Amino acid sequence: MKHALPLLALPLLAQLATPALAADDPLTRPMKSSYTDRWMEPRPALPVWGGTWLTGSLHLNTAVIDTGAGLIVVDAGLPQSAPVLEAQIASIGHKVKDVRYILVTEAHFDHAGGVAALARDSGATVIASPYTVAALARGGTGKEDQQHDDLQAFPAPKKLRAIRDGGVIRLGHTSVTARFTPGHTIGSTSWVWNACDKAKGCRTVTFLASMSAVSQDGWLFSDPAHAAITTSYRASFKKAAALPCDILLTGHPEHGQADDKIAAAIRDPKSVDWQDKTACAAAAGRFTAMLDKRIAKEQAAK
């Protein structure tokens, strides 16, 4: 059939056919902050140990665990990170539908923004602490969050399930344990699992939640009204330092001092040994120093 279209209509039709417009998706619509360009700098999926992969971008990590009976994903980055993560899943020989569970460290847009899109596309169940499940359902944490004024709402995932501290998710040959490490958010959760390599054996991988002492302007860690939050940070530092931890992964690579390892792994994945039994305790030590420094600064300003 022949269409008699006026010539002027053609550019508009051509525009409508461009992928950018065709692909507009409310769940992956880019969120912007002063960090998002940095958080979208690309890198490939990197093999860590056994079936564990470090996915995400150069400066914002997520993880994919191949359990032999489906995939478990830890965090999903920004909304616009979800298509990148899905491409990385394909690049390591899996389908997005292979994702069975998405575990969330914290309900902030840089770690949980892409969860709704990945959950929709995969059909996976999203698992997090009770606080984080409630926050995810609302698209973010509330006014109780010390970063509230600096945060943006993000797409809310469906199919949410709460887990208790110490709760275990079993899939294939993998068991992932939830370890609550509150402070940075009330519901912050670290995830610990066994990664097994046929030749080299099994190692414990810990994906440590962010424990950075940051807040919106004017919110003070030294305020007695905020003692519960500051106390929860300190308890989490102790807990993190004592976690089984052959290999440390963190959402923000700098929290695990992993930038050099990641750069080396991009050049040659086989050249990098991710094992470091001291890494969790060292990270806890740096987070402790960060909180101490912050409190000292607040007190000096009084």
Pick between residue 37 and residue 197 the one whose CB is nearest to Zn ion.
37
The candidate with the shortest Cα–Cα distance to 214, out of 160, 146, 166, 139, is 146
In whole angstroms, the minimum distance from the beta carbon of 156 to Zn ion comes to: 17
CB of 95 to Zn ion, least distance (A): 30
Report, in Å, the least distance between residue 283 CB and Zn ion: 15
CA distances from 213 to 75, 104, 155, 266 (A): 20, 19, 25, 30
Q: Can you give the binding site for Zn ion, defined by CB under 5 A? A: 108, 210
Considering beta carbons, is residue 51 or 253 the nearer one to Zn ion?
253
* Minimum distance from residue 60 beta carbon to Zn ion (Å): 11
Output 98 or 150, the one with its CB closest to Zn ion. 150
Min CB(260)–Zn ion separation in Å: 23
Smallest Cα–Cα separation from 114: which of 85, 72, 140? 85
CB of 62 to Zn ion, least distance (A): 14
Tracing tokens 């971008």 back to the chain, one arrives at 57
Nearer residue to Zn ion within complex by CB, 80 or 210: 210
- Nearest partner of 139 among 123, 127, 151, judged by Cα: 151
Q: How far is CA 111 from each of CA 12, 37, 220, 256, 283, rounded to the nearest angstrom?
A: 37, 15, 24, 16, 19
**Closer to Zn ion at the Cβ: 97 or 138?**
138
Instruction: Give the number of other Cβ atoms within 10 Å of residue 69's Cβ.
Output: 12
Which residue, 55 or 105, has its beta carbon nearer to Zn ion? 105
Amino acid at 97: K
- DSSP 3-state of 206: strand
d(CA 81, CA 118): 10
Would you call 209 helix, strand, or coil by DSSP? coil
CA pair distance 255, 257, nearest whole angstrom: 6
Closest CA to 232 of 287, 278, 177: 287
The residue (of 108 and 261) whose beta carbon lies closer to Zn ion is: 108
DSSP-based three-state secondary structure for 194: strand
Residue 189 · residue 208 · CB < 8 Å:
no
Nearest approach, Cβ of 187 to Zn ion (angstroms)?
A: 11
Report the residue closest to Zn ion, judged by CB: 108
